[in-house]
Amino acid sequence: MKNGAPELKSLFQLISDRHVPSLPIYLNIQKRMFSKELTSAQIAINFFSLHKHKSYERARFIDLQDFFKKYLKFTADANGTATLLKTRLDKVYDYLKGSKIALKNRAMGVTVFFFLNSLIENDKEQNIKPFIKFLSEFWNRLRSQIEKGIDIEPRYRYLLEFQTYISQAAVEKYAIENGQKYLEDYFDYYLKSGGKIKGDK
């Protein structure tokens, strides 16, 4: 990035160097080349889009490039969004710290951040600790069933669709939207059923 863009450089460096490592560290996301930078960029583009357009954004490389070009110079409004993002990352970081959830998936890390962000945004922080407990059980169930391949238990086949959204089409707008809807649906069922994952007997 150019030297004339201190605001964006500061934002990108902040989420890349301090906060986004909380996702690999506390969610055990695999360390691949530029994984940290891509995660931070996907969080930034979608956080800005949510606050400006009330919707998620496609996050392919060309979209990320356009995003960072657009914000080479911050307006007062963009600076406010950046400050809010820093604050929100701090909060999510604190909630996830010590959770020991082994997601090992960058797209899932982004999905989890925005789900927690939504709970905070909608004054539902009391649900965050139950959600983290749910997330650990849900991820273990998803991983164990996916590993079975064609022998996946029929009662858990709905998990295959969720798996698609966090793997094959992870950067698409609809994948992020649907990932949020699936987590909301699963978590609601978990709360109403007394701690069961959909498909559990």
The pLDDT of residue 17 is 52
Q: Which residue has the tokens 């899932």?
A: 108
Query: Using DSSP, how many helices (H) and how many strands (E) does the chain show?
Result: 9, 0
- Is residue 133 within 8 A of residue 151, CB to CB? The reply is no
Q: What angle do CA 148, 201, 104 make, to 5 degrees?
A: 40
Of all residues in the chain, the percent with pLDDT exceeding 70 is 81
The pLDDT of residue 21 is 43
The pLDDT of residue 5 is 46
Confidence of residue 11 (pLDDT cuts 50, 70, 90): low
The predicted model gives 4-30 an average pLDDT of 49
The answer to whether position 160 is within a domain reads yes
- Is residue 112 within 8 A of residue 27, CB to CB? The reply is yes
The answer to whether position 198 is within a domain reads no
- Is residue 56 within 8 A of residue 46, CB to CB? The reply is yes
Crossing angle of helices 35-53 and 76-96, in 10° steps, is 120
The predicted model gives 150-157 an average pLDDT of 89
The predicted model gives 85-103 an average pLDDT of 79
The answer to whether position 140 is within a domain reads yes
Alpha-carbon distance 36 to 58, whole Å? 18
Range of the domain at 118: 6-192
Mean pLDDT for the chain overall: 81
Alpha-carbon distance 198 to 201, whole Å? 9
The answer to whether position 64 is within a domain reads yes
Please state the domain count of the chain: 1
The answer to whether position 131 is within a domain reads yes
- Is residue 64 within 8 A of residue 110, CB to CB? The reply is no
The pLDDT of residue 8 is 54
The answer to whether position 111 is within a domain reads yes
